[in-house]
C-alpha cells in the first residue's frame, strides 16, 4: 500500500524507481512555451513539462502530491488517480494514440517496458484499449530486441488492446528487412519519419508503404527524447534528489487524446519512468 500524505509533509522520500506523469500539457504553460520555440528540439516540451509538474506537485501552495510505495521504493509524481480519465460515454468519440521511446540502450529486451507503459496509460486514462501504439527504438537496440518487442505488441493487438501498431524512423532497408521476417504476424500500420532525416519522403519508401498499406508520416521527435543528465538535473533543481544523484530514464510514453468529430486534441501528456543509477 502507498504511504499516506500528512499536512506537514514536505520532504520527498528517497526512492529507487520513479514514475512521472506530466498530466495534460494543454492546460499548462508548456504548450505556450513550446509554441514560441517551435524550432527547438522536440525534447524541449518534455523537459518543460517535467519542470512544471515538479513545481506544481511538490513546490506549489498546496500539500505535495505524490504516492510512495515503501515495498518497492517507488515514487509516483503527482497523484493522478482521479484526473485525466476519459468518461466511458466519450470513449467511442476519441482516439487514443501513444508513442513509446526506448531509452535503455541495452541488448537484452525487457518486456516489462511495454507492459508497464500500457498499464500506466490504461490506469491514467481509465481505458481498456489504445487506438494506435507507436514504438521508437534506440539506435543501439539489437534486432533481437526489436523483434521480441514487436511480438509482445502483436499479442496486445490480437487481444484487442491495441488496434494499430506503428514504427518510428525505419528507413527503406530497415523496414524491408522487418517486413520480410518469417514470423511477422501483424504489419505496422504506419511509419513515422523524422523531419530532419529528409525534406521529402524517399520514393522507394513511399512505394514500399503503398505496397504494404503502411501510412508514412513526418514527426519532430528525437529518438533520445530525455537524457540521464537532463532528468537528473531537473530532479536535483527541484530538491527531489541529492546533488550528484543520477536518475536514468528507462522509457518515455507520449500520448494524445483526440476528439474525432471536432478535430481537437483534448489531452496531451507524457509518462516518464526511471531508476536511480
Its pTM stands at 0.88
Of 241, 218, 209, give the one whose Cα is nearest residue 228: 241
Of 69, 99, 78, 101, give the one whose Cα is nearest residue 20: 78
Question: Which grid cell sits at 38?
Answer: 517551435
- Give the β-pairing of 94-102 and 67-69: unpaired
Between 151 and 79, residue with greater pLDDT: 151
Between 31 and 5, residue with greater pLDDT: 31
Kindly indicate the confidence band of residue 5, based on its pLDDT and cuts at 50, 70 and 90.
very low
Q: 20 phi and psi, to 5 degrees?
A: -115, 130
Q: What is the pLDDT of residue 4?
A: 41
Tell me the pLDDT tens digit for each residue of 146-187: 888 999 999 999 999 999 999 999 999 999 999 999 999 999
Tell me the pLDDT tens digit for each residue of 186-200: 999 999 988 665 567
Between 50 and 4, residue with greater pLDDT: 50
**Alpha-carbon gap, residue 157 to 163, rounded angstroms:** 6
Question: Which grid cell sits at 198?
Answer: 529528409
List Cβ neighbours of 91 (8 Å cut-off, separation of 6 or more): 127
Tell me the pLDDT tens digit for each residue of 211-254: 999 999 988 888 789 999 999 999 999 999 998 999 999 999 99
pLDDT at 73 over 70: yes
Q: What is the pLDDT of residue 60?
A: 75
Written as one string, the DSSP assignment of 220-256 is: ---SS-S-HHHHHHHHHHTTSS-TT--EEEEEEEEEE
Amino acid at each position: 500500500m502507498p504511504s499516506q500524505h500528512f499536512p506537514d509533509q514536505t520532504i520527498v522520500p528517497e526512492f529507487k524507481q520513479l514514475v512521472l506523469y506530466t498530466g495534460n500539457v494543454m492546460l499548462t504553460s508548456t504548450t505556450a512555451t513550446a509554441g514560441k520555440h517551435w524550432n527547438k528540439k522536440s525534447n524541449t516540451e518534455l523537459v518543460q513539462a517535467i519542470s512544471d509538474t515538479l513545481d506544481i506537485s511538490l513546490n506549489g501552495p498546496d500539500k505535495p502530491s505524490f504516492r510512495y510505495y515503501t515495498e518497492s521504493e517507488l515514487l509516483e509524481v503527482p497523484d493522478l488517480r482521479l484526473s485525466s480519465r476519459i468518461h466511458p460515454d466519450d470513449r467511442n468519440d476519441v482516439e487514443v494514440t501513444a508513442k513509446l521511446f526506448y531509452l535503455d540502450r541495452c541488448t537484452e529486451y525487457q518486456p516489462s517496458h511495454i507492459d508497464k507503459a500500457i498499464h500506466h496509460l490504461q490506469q491514467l486514462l481509465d481505458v481498456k484499449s489504445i487506438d494506435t501504439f507507436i514504438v521508437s527504438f534506440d539506435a543501439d537496440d539489437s534486432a533481437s530486441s526489436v523483434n521480441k518487442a514487436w511480438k509482445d505488441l502483436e499479442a496486445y493487438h490480437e487481444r484487442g488492446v491495441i488496434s494499430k501498431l506503428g514504427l518510428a524512423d525505419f528507413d527503406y532497408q530497415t523496414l524491408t528487412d522487418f517486413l520480410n521476417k518469417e514470423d511477422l504476424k501483424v504489419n505496422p500500420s504506419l511509419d513515422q519519419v523524422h523531419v530532419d532525416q529528409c525534406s521529402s519522403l524517399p520514393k522507394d519508401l513511399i512505394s514500399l508503404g503503398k505496397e504494404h498499406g503502411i501510412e508514412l508520416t513526418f514527426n519532430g521527435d528525437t529518438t533520445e527524447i530525455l537524457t540521464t543528465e537532463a532528468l537528473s538535473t531537473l530532479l536535483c533543481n527541484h530538491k527531489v534528489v541529492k546533488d550528484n544523484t543520477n536518475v536514468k530514464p528507462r522509457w518515455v510514453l507520449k500520448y494524445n487524446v483526440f476528439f474525432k468529430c471536432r478535430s481537437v486534441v483534448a489531452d496531451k501528456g507524457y509518462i516518464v519512468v526511471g531508476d536511480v543509477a
